[in-house]
Chain A
Amino acid sequence: MPEEPQIELTAGEEFIHDNPAGTGYGHSARGEELSAEMTMLDLKNGAVVQYMEDDDAGWHLVSWVDDLGIGRITAIEPDYFASNFTRV
């Protein structure tokens, strides 16, 4: 499988979660529907995130606000980010 193109990222840039399957990040990782509580806490399709920095494993740390209005930081796997997030 060809590698996903690497995206040049700058701290503070905004991206939208644009998963072709229309599922959240957790739902996508699990491969099946989450419970109602976990669905509410998921990084949903359509959510806007702000890139912060890369962690030690090279995953992209993004900040976002969940459905409860709580500020969150989540690490996104780079290939997933390249194919499922688009610049706002």
Chain B
Amino acid sequence: MPLLSAGQLMQYGEKQALEAVFRKTQSPAAAAVYMALSTAATSGVLNSTDLTMAGSSINEYATASGYARQSYGPSLATSASPSVIYNSAQLTWGPFTSAPGTCNWGIVCDAASGTSANAIAAFLLASSRTPAIGDSLQAAAGTGSAGIGFLCQV
């Protein structure tokens, strides 16, 4: 099973990108996508073939904790090769009303809530985070440089 590394499209995202680029289908209409947080272990768990947020390897934070997915707000893809895309503003989750556990991954999907959301890309956090009750969790805005923000390339 293909497992994931940092900033990588998942199967749903790969298929959408290839079919759009090779003119097999029209791209989906422009819309918001959302960054979820996952407790999946840093290696050997998160599976790129999980098509939706219902996938058994996704392990998203529990919703009854103040947690909610945040709008990813991506930049335009850069004019470079490899071209990259990243969050253009800081992302902040919480405040949490119960301890949600340790998150290791961010996962971009196409709905603000619900397990039927399509899983588009996964990003390994540079260091895991374990917010306490009352805390908010911040992620830096991307700059296009590796290691800053949630940056993805094809």
Q: Which residues of A are in contact with B by a Cβ distance under 8 Å? A: 24-27, 29-30, 32, 34, 38, 41-43, 52-57, 59, 61, 66, 68, 70-77
Contacts and interface: CB of A to CB of B under 8 A. Distances in A.
B33 to A, nearest CB: 13
A70 B67 contact: no
Contacts of A26: 66, 94-97, 133-136
A72 B112 contact: no
Nearest to B138: A41
Interface stretch (B2-10, B13-21, B68-76, B122-130): B68-76
A61 B127 CA distance: 27
A26 B90 CA distance: 19
Contact of B134 (A38, A52, A70, A72): A38
Given A30-B133, A53-B113, A25 B64 contact: no
A77 B113 contact: no
Given A41-B138, A52-B112, A66 B68 contact: no
A56 B115 contact: yes
Contacts of B91: 70
A38 B137 CA distance: 9
A66 B92 contact: yes
A78 B112 CA distance: 18
Given A24-B95, A29-B97, A72-B92, A77 B64 contact: yes
B101 interface: no
B153 interface: no
Given A42-B95, A68-B90, A57 B64 contact: yes
A41 B131 CA distance: 13
A70 B95 CA distance: 13
Given A24-B95, A70-B90, A29 B112 contact: no
A66 B91 CA distance: 11
A71 B70 CA distance: 8
Given A53-B113, A73-B112, A42 B134 contact: yes
A29 B94 CA distance: 11
12 contacts: A26-B133, A26-B136, A29-B66, A30-B134, A41-B136, A42-B95, A43-B95, A53-B112, A53-B113, A61-B113, A71-B89, A74-B94
